[in-house]
Amino acid sequence: MRSVAVIAALIVISLISGCGIFPEEKDETIGWSANKLYAEARDALNDGSYAKSIKYFEKLESRYPYGRYAQQAQIDIAYAYWKDQEPASAIAACDRFIKLHPNHPNVDYVYYLRGLINFNENLGILGAISNQDMTERDPKGARESFDAFRELITRFPDSKYSPDAILRMKYLVNALASLELHVARYYMKRGAYLAAANRAQYAVLNYPDTPATEEALFIMVKAYDALGLTDLRDDAERVMRKNFPNSEYYVRGLDRQEPWWKLW
């Protein structure tokens, strides 16, 4: 009986809607020029009404696809999606613009924006609340951000966005190296010494000259020693002593009979 009542109610609502008792919402933008649509969309964007600005930008592009505002609307909508916590839609908008307008005067900004979206958004809402360290997150977003910034500085080395992109790339490299160390420490604590050594070695080979290199070499020494791989342990120690002769990791063992790595 309940199912019959629900179906009957749906039929009534459908009939009422068809009779115009619940008229469709009037589109206030009907008759607006491209200039007015763009101005209203920008005002909404500046006011933080991102969903509203997206709606206006979409209407603008749909009604005036070949006008002078259409291309700029495609850039602005990517930014609006990003600010509206829609990173996937923002990146899709960036990729679409780059594909359609590879020689646009502002395409360098779109590359930069694509890097920013992954740089800031891969943390996620829960991460922002908890102040989660970037080095403890999935590296996919960081790597995609790095690739976008790298493409920017490769294609547009003189772009005004390139200096900031380079700084962000340096941060991302350090973060990715630190992520490898985070995983290597996890393996060390659980006695998975071969896995720890492999992650530390990956950090050394792929992210050289980063602050993480010193600890990565130390983990390699410790892990190889635990595995009884003395040749690999000694090779790692030689590299570490050559590059970090004053490493803090030596301090507790330098004046003792036991090797320094045994004391940790």
With a cut of 70, which residues of the chain have pLDDT below it? 1-25, 121-138, 252-264
CATH number of 35-100: 1.25.40.10
Query: What pLDDT, on the 0 to 100 scale, is given for residue 85?
Result: 92
pLDDT at 133: 52
Q: Any idea which residue has 């749906």 for tokens?
A: 10
Q: For residue 117, how many other CB atoms are within 10 A of its CB?
A: 26
Cα of 187 vs its chain's centroid, Å: 26
pLDDT tens profile 192-229: 999 999 999 999 999 988 999 999 999 999 999 999 99
CA distance 97 to 92: 9
Query: What DSSP assignment string belongs to 177-197?
Result: HHHHHHHHHHHHHTT-HHHHH
- Within 10 Å of residue 249's Cβ, how many Cβ atoms? 19
Domain ranges of the chain: 35-100
**Which pLDDT score, from 0 to 100, does residue 127 have?**
42
Q: How far apart are CA 120 and CA 176, in angstroms?
A: 15
Q: What pTM did the predictor assign?
A: 0.73
- Three-state SS at 241: helix
Tokens of 259: 């090797």
